[in-house]
Amino acid sequence: MEAKARDHERKAVASSGSESLKHAITSAELYMQAAQKAKAKDDRARLSRKCNELLTLAERLKLVAANPDPPGPRSTRELTTAEKSIILRASRIHGKLFPPWDLPPGPDTFAKKDDEELYVDPSAYTFSPTQQELFAGWKRPSELMAVADGQLDTEKLSDDMMRASTDCDLVQDMVTDCSVVASLSAAMSHLCPQKDSLLRSLMYPFDHDMFRPKLSKSGKYVFRMHFNGCFRQVVIDDRLPSSSSASRTLFVVDRRNDRLIWPALMEKAYLKVRGGYDFPGSNSGTDLYVLTGWIPEQRFLHHDEFDIDQTWATMKKAYEKGNVVATLGTPALSAEEETALGLVSEHDYAVMDLKEESGDRFLLVKNPWRNSVVWKGVASSASVKTTEKIRGMFWISFEDVVQNFDSLYLNWNPALFTHRQDHHFTWELPAKTVASSLSHNPQYTVRSQTSDPIWILLCRHWQDAELDMLRDGSRHHNHTHTDRSNAARAATGTSPASVSHFLGFMGLQGFTTSPPGTCVLLPDRSPLYHTPLLDSPHTLLRLDHPSPNTPYTIVLAQSDLPLPKYSFTLAFFSLSPLTVTPSPSPHPHTQSLSGSWTRRTAGGNTASPAYRTNPSWSITVPSPTSLSLLLTTDDHDLPIHICVVYRPTSSSPPSAISQPSRRDLLMSSGEYRRGAAHVQSPTSAPVQPGSYIATASTFTPGQLANFVLRVGSDAPLAITPLATPEAGRLRREIPPLVLTDNHGENNTTIIHRALVQVSRLTRLSLLARCATTPTTNQPASSGSPCAIRVSLELGRSAGPHRTVLAVAPCAEGEFTDAVMGLRTEEVDVAPETARERGGLWVVVESVGGGGGGGGGETGGGGHAVVVEVLSDNGVSVGGWEAGGGY
């Protein structure tokens, strides 16, 4: 008998619905019979405990059966320990706890004994200053409606307060939640009393016979809302904020039934989640997702990819089947545009109906404001009754919607799909040096065996700091808004849409990769699928026609997310089973090398004589391997480049490459790219064993930035930084040479010299740059160009006795702006050679400048040139001498 009981217990756990309940009851009965027949006391106690456990399970299953889940598939994937921790940590917002939904509350939750007080939610709600002026305390529904005991029977009162008709007229007044009220208005056909009302799984207590919510005797209500990764429990009491003005309200009301309170209770529960009645910002797509769990999608009506005919056909078909709820958002409008169009700037509207007449397409749109304006455009309200026009509803052609509104929000019935997978993860935003690539962005690989559509919903979990940012942004917006807004928005305050951008932007991108299903480091082409970057916490990526058995890499993209760390949920919806995994790296071995382009190592592109001073590395490949190099920088506007060349056989030890030839080039990232550059060996042509040199460069010499080089390979590699040509060199700086402006001698070449003395054979070079001018303390680049030529010469005078050993720039007769620095090649000079040839001189030539002297003499102000002598032995340097002109 006990064995049969265990068998039914296993089936109760493995099955669901009525089948699970049947097995649980049978198992409990068998355990009870076994306990009665057991002879040993310990056995009777053990079997009785099992009987009680199964009875408890049966009661839970009965509760679930009586309270259906919201429509749509549930994620059946087992969460990891880390994911469970993410979901639990996301339960606390604004000092309030919203635990993941477990079971519907039982009837006892809403019962009240005669000696018990009504339930009071201890949570605090915040109000804006304007709302606070009218706030007259929290009141129960009976107080608000002035209902005396016995004046109305309970059934009548419950019917008035809880039964919403399909034509109810919900409006906002003193609360800045047009998106919430627009959402409730648009979804009312799914929330009003009917057998499949969405409220039956979202609001408790609920009367399943009358298809509407019940009045709670205890004053407690429980809502099931979807946010921060799952459905969660939101508990409130029935007190609502009363107003000291008879003509103003602090909660949503139905103008056709002023006793209706469940929309106000749902609004209160939502505002508890969002921080208070001083609601700073959202959009109706987000609000409907939280309130109902229906999948949100935002379509930009002015986007290049928006297809008006396809959107109408898709929306109309789904709307007629009850599978979509639509709302609209306006862009920022001027006061003149608001008056001319009859539309409110940055405001959400409800779509109440849609139709086609004689080939024309129309939407019935509602403004949720209590005292609302209506559309004044062409064919505005021809077929709407006058009473409806007053109440803020109007017909508008779909073409006018596309022209005058900004966003179309579509919330889709999740029951359109049969499978769902939820993945939860955290993301610590990468350092600025690597943020210009996708290498540190969360990425998942999805694969289906069919071509059925796959929808991927990205949800960013709310954090307390975001609410503070929104409120700060709202205050700033109020200070900078026009007088028009202060008057027209007296009832509702700042538009929620106007401050949402303070939270940054995010989106999704879908790629096919090589190897298939691996991480994307830097996209070399546009993604196959992508969403716009949205300032919403939700964005939907649709793979409407995926190739069967093809892995797609889904990448989270972001811009200006202000916080250092976030948690997210990716929900995958489909009509067939999916395989979803975190995307692996394309290479099993990776190394990240940090570095900087400094004043001495920013050598510029290959056309620069200083190219060899760029940061370089020796790479030793022990066996054939694929090779990937990703270069990123903290200056996202800086054009950069990475290349790999064969190490010259004569280079021992290895050294930087002066100017790589096409013959020596193994791989190159191509054109200089801003912020990030990537190169990867072809799959069909792995890199062969040997030694190579990689060089990272900026396009222009002297551009300074930090960078990270990420090297990926199939096998471990030996990577060694190469010393710059200046490494180990002694540096001797000559006192600054100041070149003054001389407009009267613009065509004259002016020469300055400084004597260099060596005591033995010495290898040396010159580095010259324009520095801060002593008189103005301003960079040389802020004025006219500092055009010079610098050289190392034997002999003091011009003519046949003058020998140029090294010059920069190297082109004959060329002068170059030295703000980025000039470098000469290295030369060897013996002391006897210098003596015999008239001395060794550093020569600076300029055009149209007069001598300012050395040692910091200003000479009237202009450009200051600093020259350094780099050598392998000690040298002595004299002061600057004016040398006249050629």
List active site positions.
178, 347, 367
Q: Which helix (H) or strand (E) holds 393?
A: strand 393-397
Task: For tokens 């019962």, name the residue.
Answer: 111
Q: Which residues pair with 423 in a beta bridge?
A: 570
Q: Which residues pair with 597 in a beta bridge?
A: 705
Secondary structure letter of residue 503 according to DSSP = G
Q: Which helix (H) or strand (E) holds 817?
A: strand 816-817
Contacts of 606 (CB under 8 A, 6+ apart): 659, 660, 697
- Judge contact between 638 and 703, C-beta under 8 A: yes
Angstrom distances, CA of residue 33 to CA of 5, 19, 25, 29, 51: 10, 22, 13, 6, 9
Rounded Cα distance, 96 and 125, in Å = 11
Amino acid at 172: Q
In degrees and rounded to multiples of 5, residue 466 shows phi and psi of: -65, -40
Rounded Cα distance, 569 and 548, in Å = 25
Rounded Cα distance, 657 and 695, in Å = 8
Nearest Cα residue to 642 out of 602, 673, 620: 673
Q: Which helix (H) or strand (E) holds 319?
A: helix 308-320
Rounded Cα distance, 328 and 182, in Å = 9
- Put residue 752 in one of left, alpha, beta given phi > 0 → left and psi -120 to 50 → alpha: beta
- Judge contact between 779 and 864, C-beta under 8 A: no
Read off the tokens for 118: 């009504």
Rounded Cα distance, 109 and 452, in Å = 43
Q: Cα–Cα–Cα angle for 544, 438, 639, nearest 5°? A: 120
Contacts of 569 (CB under 8 A, 6+ apart): 228, 229, 230, 422, 423, 424, 458, 459, 461
Nearest Cα residue to 553 out of 524, 591, 515, 589: 515
- Judge contact between 262 and 203, C-beta under 8 A: yes
Amino acid at 593: L
Neighbours of 206 (CB within 10 A): 21
